[in-house]
């Protein structure tokens, strides 16, 4: 079973993290938060965006980047960044990989990116667009990784409430 991981490096906006938490819950993805955070985990905006799913989310926190690395020494990490050399859809996401996103104001530190150039991926944008919203970026890249893993363990078909798809 695919068990993907989203890593947020020093996230600053609680609503973004709450929305990302909800996306992680809906996909069976673990969420990893690297401190310092720009908010409290108990923040109302975080819980409002994550709705009632936050309590059931598989979330891990780390005091800093070094703590994350020490606790996940074998992690295969992809770094989502506007500075990436590769398009996110060209990467081959393993079923247990980590996909890291940087803080809203500054992204992932360049020393981390420089040490991992082949795993830096970007979402294409036109012109001088600075970036997409963090929660949108997570959803785009995460769903590509899920697609590549066959949407393992996910519900692939919906149902109508009062009618059947076969009714005329």
pTM metric for this prediction: 0.91
Residue with tokens 């590549």: 148
Other C-beta atoms closer than 10 Å to the C-beta of 126 total 5
Q: Please, how many CA atoms are within 13 Å of residue 138, restricted to the half-sphere of its CB?
A: 33
Q: Is 126 a known ligand-binding residue?
A: no
Report pLDDT for 46.
Answer: 59
Which CATH superfamily groups domain 5-148?
A: SPOUT methyltransferase, trefoil knot domain (3.40.1280.10)
Q: Parse the chain into domains and list their residue ranges.
A: 5-148
Cis peptide before 112 (omega within 30 of 0): no
State both tokens at 109. Answer: 């530190």
Q: Is 102 a known ligand-binding residue?
A: yes
With a cut of 50, list the residues of the chain below it in pLDDT. Answer: none
Report pLDDT for 160.
Answer: 85
pLDDT tens digits for 75-118? Answer: 999 999 999 999 999 999 999 999 999 999 999 999 999 999 99
Q: Is 131 a known ligand-binding residue?
A: yes
């Amino acid at each position: 079973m695919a068990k993907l991981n989203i890593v947020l490096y020093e996230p600053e906006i609680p609503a973004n993290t709450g929305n990302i938490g909800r996306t992680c819950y809906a996909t069976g993805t673990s969420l990893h938060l690297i401190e310092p955070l720009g908010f409290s985990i108990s923040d109302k905006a975080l819980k409002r965006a994550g709705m009632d799913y936050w309590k059931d989310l598989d979330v891990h926190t780390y005091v800093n980047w070094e703590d994350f690395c020490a606790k996940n020494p074998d992690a295969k990490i992809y770094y989502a960044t506007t500075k990436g050399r590769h398009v996110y859809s060209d990467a081959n996401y393993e079923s247990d990989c980590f996909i890291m996103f940087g803080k809203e104001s500054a992204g992932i530190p360049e020393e981390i990116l420089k040490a991992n150039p082949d795993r830096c991926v970007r979402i294409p944008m036109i012109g001088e667009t600075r970036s997409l919203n963090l929660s949108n970026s997570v959803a785009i890249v995460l769903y590509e990784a899920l697609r590549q893993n066959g949407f393992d363990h996910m519900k692939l078909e919906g149902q109508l409430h009062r009618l059947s798809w076969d009714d005329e």
